[in-house]
């Protein structure tokens, strides 16, 4: 088993940008009043004053993910993964093929929507019931945009499709808001389901993943993928390459947020992507690799396409190894994986 773990710093401070100093300017030459018209002198003075009022503003500091703050990216692995947390296991045998910081508890972004879909699916609510997007569904956490304007009406089934396939935040929030008992009851149901699955390091506070307080570990998310993959509806909706919905007089085309689904070169049974700054780029999948049903969890990947690159590296490693020899030893395999549960 590839188990890449290690002691990490409790927190890594961010480097603050140094303020730019004002450039030294030469004093303006004295104006020869006798030879210059008054109007021209006033105009020249105004221009000089305007130039001197230019202020150099410090750039915005670069924000780090929780994994970066905790130093998890310092942990090396033989596959040179860009994700600071990784877990790959055989779904049928539970054999762990790869583990890297797999017990670390971090924000999970829109991976949250997989639990949202699971709770809705198991509630057996009418899929054809029309749900209206309201102001309550507008993101006030990250102020993200949406193509579903307030007043948009779609069926619950369509909301589920957009939430799982293209990670539509307003659709996911509307699913939770219209659950029997309202949003609070829905979040309680999410946490109850997590507890029933043994996801003891997992906590949900809302159904979209926009809050960094939605947190979990790779081991817990593997359990979620196992359970969600039992539902044909969740498998179908999450792996749909694209979907078109009618909004008023317009047809809106949505695409899958996972480029691997759209590529057609993978046999993916279930998937979900996620991203907020605090979580980095995240990806969970169930896929057929080398004759196995493999569950793959990648969290806190740095770079827009790095989680896709990590998935490709893992696939190449698994499919090119001799069957029965999928584990790689590590010199730090005896170290304890950090458990990170509190926000920095």
3-state DSSP helix/strand/coil % of the chain, to nearest 5: 35, 20, 45
Q: Which residues are catalytic?
A: 110, 113, 167
Q: Where are the alpha helices (DSSP H) in 285-325?
A: 306-320
Q: Which residues pair with 212 in a beta bridge?
A: none
Residues near 170 by beta carbon (within 8 Å), at least 6 away in sequence: 133, 137, 138, 139, 146, 148, 152
Q: Give CA–CA dist 324/322, Å, rounded.
A: 6
Which SS3 state, helix, strand or coil, does residue 115 take? helix
Q: Are 253 and 267 in contact (CB under 8 A)?
A: no
Which residue is listed with tokens 């030294």? 24
Which are the contacts of 230, defined by CB distance < 8 A and separation ≥ 6? none
Rounded CA separation 14/309 (Å): 27
Phi and psi at residue 31, to the nearest 5° = -80, 140
């Amino acid at each position: 088993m590839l188990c890449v773990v290690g002691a990490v710093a409790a927190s890594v401070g961010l480097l603050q940008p140094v303020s730019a100093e004002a450039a030294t300017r030469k004093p303006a030459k004295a104006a020869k009043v006798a030879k210059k018209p008054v109007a021209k002198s006033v105009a020249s003075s105004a221009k000089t004053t305007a130039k001197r009022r230019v202020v150099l503003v410090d750039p915005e500091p670069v924000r780090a993910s929780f994994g970066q703050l905790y130093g998890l990216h310092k942990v090396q692995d033989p596959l040179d993964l860009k994700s600071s947390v990784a877990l790959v296991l055989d779904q049928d045998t539970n054999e762990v093929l790869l583990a890297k910081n797999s017990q670390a508890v971090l924000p999970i972004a829109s991976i949250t929507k997989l639990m949202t879909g699971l709770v809705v699916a198991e509630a057996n609510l009418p899929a054809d019931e029309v749900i209206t997007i309201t102001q309550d569904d507008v993101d006030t956490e990250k102020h993200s945009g949406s193509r579903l304007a307030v007043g948009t009406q779609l069926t619950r089934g369509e909301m589920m499709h957009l939430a799982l396939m293209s990670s539509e935040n307003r659709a996911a929030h509307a699913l939770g808001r219209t659950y029997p008992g309202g949003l609070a009851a829905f979040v309680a149901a999410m946490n109850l389901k997590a507890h029933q699955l043994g996801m003891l390091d997992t906590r949900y506070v809302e159904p979209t993943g926009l809050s960094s307080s939605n947190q979990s570990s790779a081991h817990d998310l593997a359990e979620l993928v196992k359970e969600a993959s039992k539902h044909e509806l969740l498998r179908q909706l999450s792996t749909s390459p694209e979907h078109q919905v009618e909004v008023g007089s317009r047809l809106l085309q949505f695409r899958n947020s996972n480029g691997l689904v759209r590529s057609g070169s993978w046999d993916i049974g279930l998937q979900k992507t996620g991203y907020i700054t605090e979580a980095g780029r995240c990806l969970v999948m169930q896929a057929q690799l080398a004759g196995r049903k493999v569950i793959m969890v990648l969290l806190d990947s740095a770079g827009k396409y790095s989680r896709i690159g990590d998935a490709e590296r893992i696939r190449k490693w698994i499919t090119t190894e001799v069957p029965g020899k999928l584990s790689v030893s590590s010199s730090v395999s005896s170290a304890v994986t950090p458990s990170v549960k509190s926000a920095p």
